[in-house]
Amino acid sequence: MENKIGVTLITGFLGAGKTTFLNNLIEKYPNTKFAVIENEFGEVGIDGGLVVDKQEDIFELSNGCICCNLNGELRDILRKLLQCENKIDHLLIETTGIAEPSAVAAAFVGDPGIASIFEINATVGLVDAKNFVQSLSDHEVALKQVAFSDILFLTKCDLATEDEIKSAALQAKLINPAAFVERIYNGEKVENDILSLNSYNANKVEERTSFIQHHHEHQHGDVVSYSFTFEGGVDPVKLEMWLSVLLQLQYEVIYRFKGIFNIKGETNKVIVQGVRNESKIVIGNPWKPSEDKLNRIVVIGKGIKKEAIERKIKSILR
Ligand SMILES: Nc1nc2c(ncn2[C@@H]2O[C@H](COP(=O)(O)OP(=O)(O)OP(=O)(O)O)[C@@H](O)[C@H]2O)c(=O)[nH]1
């Protein structure tokens, strides 16, 4: 696991500040050898030329949107990357402003060849503090980007009023209660150690879902975020069946799924992350004797029904 190349996805709506953030990141870690994949929606790639020159390997996908039709090309680039003489430490992917990051992440989770070498570290979401509320109402993809992010930065806070920033932060938290929300002024570097977020690591998932004490519900239009706990040992076969049906049939309306499960007969926590129609399952820490073996899940999606999920949950308990 430790030897895998970490991958940071940088998402955010058009003009949110992705390239600025990426450049800052490259400069912040002078001793890290990055490879950068720039995806642009247009025939002529420009962003690649805007990436700071630090002898990084920069690849451009300018033929369409990475999340729709470039998985083949993405694979080719990843293959090329591995053949490069210089070993890379970390891969940064800047998606287009209209891309769904979950689709890109799914390529890293669902393809065994890719997953054996690369490991998604985190999805960083950039949100233009001034324009976010408007983008949300006009473009569903802006919401999906926020729902899928592990950490969110409200950018261009220097251009927004305090009320606009607070309102953007509130909307972001309503959509994704598990994500950290930070601010960026004047396109400055952030203090957070972005390369160490390890958001898909079992301990980190546990940390980020510890806010769920009982049932929480947030609503943004017809997009809801349910986070709840339930008691009892889960049947692994039934859980797997439920997840595969849920993710196969509903991945277009489920923007994010994370869960910590108490599997019957298993002494460790089992962490499940839904990434589009794929699920990533890892074994977490052992349950402590003093701990209540509570299952915890967060589901963010469109038009999903709490009762239906609760009914399903009952059916996967042994
Ligand atoms: N004032 C201000 N300007 C910023 C900030 N962050 C980025 N910008 C500017 O906003 C513009 C867009 O920034 P980019 O980093 O290119 O945004 P992007 O998300 O990569 O844009 P697309 O690739 O077109 O979607 C640039 O002119 C940046 O210099 C910020 O925090 N404050």
Task: State the complex-level ipTM.
Answer: 0.98
Structure tokens at 11: 């998402």
pLDDT tens digits along 118-169? 999 999 999 999 999 888 887 888 999 999 999 999 999 999 999 999 999 9
Q: Quote the number of domains for the chain.
A: 2
Closest residue (by CA) to atom 17 of ligand 1? Answer: 17
pLDDT of 66 strictly over 90: no
- Whether 215 and 181 share a structural domain: no
pLDDT of residue 312: 79
How far apart are alpha carbons 127 and 54 in whole angstroms? 26
- Whether 242 and 304 share a structural domain: yes
- Whether 179 and 242 share a structural domain: no
- Whether 167 and 264 share a structural domain: no
Render 146-171 in DSSP notation, one character per residue. HHH-SEEEEE-GGGS-HHHHHHHHHH
- Whether 75 and 147 share a structural domain: yes
pTM, two decimals, is 0.79
Q: Which CATH number does the domain housing residue 240 bear?
A: 3.30.1220.10
Q: Which helix (H) or strand (E) holds 123?
A: strand 118-128
- Whether 122 and 233 share a structural domain: no
Closest residue (by CA) to atom 9 of ligand 1? Answer: 17
Q: Which residues in 207-231 are b (16+ Cβ under 10 Å) and which e?
A: ebbeebeeeeeeebeebbbbbbbbe
Residue 260 belongs to domain spanning? 202-316
- Whether 136 and 253 share a structural domain: no
- Whether 120 and 35 share a structural domain: yes
Q: Pairing relation of β-strands 118-128 and 90-94? A: unpaired
Task: Please report, for residues 53, 80, 114, the alpha-carbon distance to residue 95 in angstroms, rounded to integers and kept in the order given.
Answer: 19, 19, 18
Of 196, 213, 239, the position where a domain reaches its end is: 196
Of 148, 179, 196, the position where a domain reaches its end is: 196
- Whether 94 and 176 share a structural domain: yes
Return left, alpha or beta for 186; rule: phi > 0 is left, psi -120 to 50 is alpha, else beta. Answer: left
Q: Which CATH number does the domain housing residue 90 bear?
A: 3.40.50.300
How far apart are alpha carbons 281 and 116 in whole angstroms? 14
Closest residue (by CA) to atom 12 of ligand 1? Answer: 15
Identify the band that residue 216 occupies on the pLDDT scale cut at 50, 70 and 90: low
Q: Which of 19, 40, 52, 141 to mutate to test the pocket of ligand 1 (most atoms within 8 A of CB)?
A: 19
